[in-house]
Amino acid sequence: SAMDQAPSQRAYQPQIQLSNKRVYGSEASGRWRPPARGFVPPNHFIPIAEEIGLIITLGAWVIAEAARQVKRWHAAGFGELVVSVNISALQFHQAGFLNEVQGILEQAGTAPSSLELELTESMLMTDMEVSIQVLQAFRDLGYRIAIDDFGTGFSCLNYLRRLPVNILKIDQSFVRDMQTDSASLAIVASIIRLAESLGMETIAEGVETVEESGLLSNQGCNLMQGYYFSKPLPVAQFEPWLQQWSGNP
Ligand code: C2E
Ligand code: CA
Ligand code: CA
């Protein structure tokens, strides 16, 4: 199909639920391979795609692809898997975004509860009241909402309290530094406490070692993602990975 020939390819990184060692879900990440030019990482092409407005089309395609994929995994017996997609500011603030996502999911035959939208703090801080309304509408329909890179932006705690969000995603910079820098560890611990008191969950990203995983789980963080468990996997490798997952990296 035309999709197989598209220069873009998705990779999916497993997210683990530490309490029961099960796979909670996976985060979709962009991989772009322009013909004969090798590999362009998302940190390079996403800002360009945003600038030229291509992110709207690309973003819709990412959601459609993720929705189809998660349905396949459910059919293969992994019924509780959730798929996370990164949403750009332009996409989120575009009029009719919710209707577009609804349309995509209906066409794929995927339930909103299987899709998690990853948004950043700064994205939500612009036009806060509208953001709250849009998020609430998504939540009412059953979608999951995560705040990505949490702790790196300027969150207004009073707004955070009002945000209909399920998950705070602890930025990987804190995870990387928490064993050598007591301030980073304090931030990690505070984010986990904050989430608990607001009735939200936490997921740590960039978990690379058994020590980091242990430390995070002792602090009360139950969901994790990182090279310790798995790198982002090309879509063809994701299901085999699920089949072989034994609960231990
Ligand atoms: P992000 O959402 O914070 O994604 C996490 C990044 O950390 C991913 O990089 C992932 O491959 C990497 N990572 C995961 N585990 C580890 C680990 O254990 N150690 C280290 N050092 N890195 C780890 P990636 O795939 O290069 O994506 C970079 C960023 O590009 C993402 O950051 C996200 O902001 C953006 N992005 C990726 N795909 C999309 C997309 O489809 N749409 C939008 N709007 N943004 C995207
Ligand atoms: Ca993300
Ligand atoms: Ca992140």
One digit per residue, the tens of pLDDT, for the chain of length 249 reads: 334 444 467 899 999 999 999 999 999 987 766 666 667 778 888 888 888 888 888 899 999 999 999 999 999 999 899 999 999 999 999 999 999 999 999 999 999 999 999 999 888 888 889 999 999 999 999 999 999 999 898 777 888 888 999 999 999 999 999 999 999 999 999 999 999 999 999 999 999 999 999 999 999 999 999 999 999 999 999 999 999 999 989
Answer whether 148 contacts ligand 1 (Cβ < 6 A).
yes
Of 28, 6, 26, the residue nearest 14 (C-alpha): 26
Protein residue closest via CA to atom 25 of ligand 1: 29
Contacting residues for 103 by C-beta, under 8 A, at least 6 apart: none
Answer whether 149 contacts ligand 1 (Cβ < 6 A).
yes
> Exposed (0-12), middle (13-18) or buried (19+): which is 38, by Cβ within 10 Å?
exposed
Of 245, 150, 216, the residue nearest 18 (C-alpha): 216
Q: How far is the CA of 2 from the centre of ligand 3 (A)?
A: 30
Answer whether 39 contacts ligand 1 (Cβ < 6 A).
no
pTM (predicted TM-score): 0.94
3-state SS record for 124-148:
HHCCHHHHHHHHHHHHHCCCEEEEE
Answer whether 232 contacts ligand 1 (Cβ < 6 A).
yes
The pair of structure tokens assigned to 55 is 């992110």
Answer whether 84 contacts ligand 1 (Cβ < 6 A).
no
Other Cβ atoms closer than 10 A to 46: 19
Residue ranges of alpha helices (H) inside 118-205 are 121-125, 128-140, 157-162, 172-177, 182-197
Protein residue closest via CA to atom 7 of ligand 1: 206
Answer whether 88 contacts ligand 1 (Cβ < 6 A).
yes
Site to substitute for ligand 1 among 57, 86, 97, most atoms within 8 A of C-beta: 86
